[in-house]
Amino acid sequence: MAILIQFAIGLIFGLGLIVSGMSNPAKVLNFLDVGGIPAGTWDASLAFVMAGAVAVTFIGFRRVLKLARPSFAERFYVPTRTDIDPKIIVGPAIFGIGWGLAGFCPGPALTALGFGSTSAFIFVAAMCAGMVLARFIAQLPSSTCIVTPADPLET
């Protein structure tokens, strides 16, 4: 039952990506292209995707987190860290460069697999390799000495 529900939740997420236009890398790149403002090619749509998503999540989380526990888990796994370490800046900086190069972030890239495009498949394969590599490096003893190990429960 919980598995079916998580499939449905992923489906809703994917539909949101498609309906919003985020599944189209061209639209994402045109949003990031503030240099296109003078020429009128800047596409501000993604600001509306963020606004819609954050508004619903902000209200929904406040209600859900008042419950004693989730429907299919023992407890809520909400991140608790508040420190600003180098990884919270270096990671997103690297991520942002990749995002700006192709116009794909992980959600839309996975949804793009269902469009049947070869390009999406190549991107997702490389993305998974990058993820595995980052988790491997973060676990190396030398790495954990100089930086805080990633909170396994975060995001």
Partner 1 sequence: MIVTPFTPMTSLLGGALIGLSAVLLMWATGRIAGVSGIAARLFPPYEDRELAGRLAFVAGLIAAPLLVRLVTGSLPAQTIAAPTPVLIVAGLLTGFGAVWGSGCTSGHGVCGLSRLSVRSLVATITFMAAGVATVFVMRHWS
65 binds partner 1 (CB under 8 A): yes
Question: Per-residue string for binding with partner 1, 44-63, x by CB under 8 A?
Answer: xxx-xxxxxxxxxxx-xx-x
Angstrom distance (rounded) from CA 109 to CA 106: 5
Both tokens of 144, joined, read 């954990």
In the list 37, 111, 142, 145, the residue contacting partner 1 (rule: CB under 8 A) is: 111
- The upper half-sphere exposure of residue 148, i.e. CA atoms within 13 Å in the direction of its Cβ, equals 11
Question: Considering only residues 114-153, where is the footprint of partner 1 by CB under 8 A?
Answer: 114-115, 117, 119-120, 122-135, 138-139, 150-152
37 binds partner 1 (CB under 8 A): no
Residue 119: C-alpha distances to residues 25, 76, 115, 148 (Å):
11, 37, 10, 35
Task: List CB contacts of 36: < 8 A, sequence separation 6 or more.
Answer: 30, 42
In the list 37, 66, 82, 145, the residue contacting partner 1 (rule: CB under 8 A) is: 82
In the list 23, 66, 145, 146, the residue contacting partner 1 (rule: CB under 8 A) is: 23
Question: Smallest distance, Å, CB 68 to partner 1?
Answer: 11
